[in-house]
Amino acid sequence: MKTLIVIAAMGLLLLYVWERVEIVRVGYQIERLKVKKVALERERDELQVKLSALTSPERIARVATEKLGLAPPQRGQVILVNVKPEAPAHGEPAMPDVKLARNEPVGKVP
């Protein structure tokens, strides 16, 4: 009986120690993950800054005209077709405006 109690006490003690060790271990793990999270967030922000700098209308216009030889559409090249919203055929949603572009070279294309 006595031995059983001693063994149980030892077991409890070990459990307690194991628990403490585990808390510390997981604590370190959490810290490592936090550091990783911060690094990933940093990378995300960095990429977002890059993305929005690369998609700035000024840059897109420059690349389109200088590198790709595109030109802004001239008058009459884009025709917006206005579909009257008051006549939706049998409850179908009204068609949105449709953009049509004609293929017609404008100016010189390098």
Interaction of residue 73 with another protein, rule CB under 8 A: yes
Nearer CB in complex with another protein: 15/39: 39
- Structure token pair of residue 21: 């060790």
Task: State the Cα–Cα distance between residues 102 and 79, nearest whole angstrom.
Answer: 9
N- to C-terminal Cα separation, the chain: 98
Nearer CB in complex with another protein: 36/102: 102
Among 40, 78, 94, 106, binds another protein (CB under 8 A): 78
Closest approach of another protein to the CB of residue 10, in Å: 20
Per residue in 53-82, is it b (16+ CB within 10 Å) or e — as a string?
Answer: eeeeeeeeeeeeeeeeeeeeeeeeeeeeee
Closest approach of another protein to the CB of residue 104, in Å: 7
Point out which span in 10-18, 52-60, 63-71, 87-95 binds another protein (CB under 8 A): 52-60
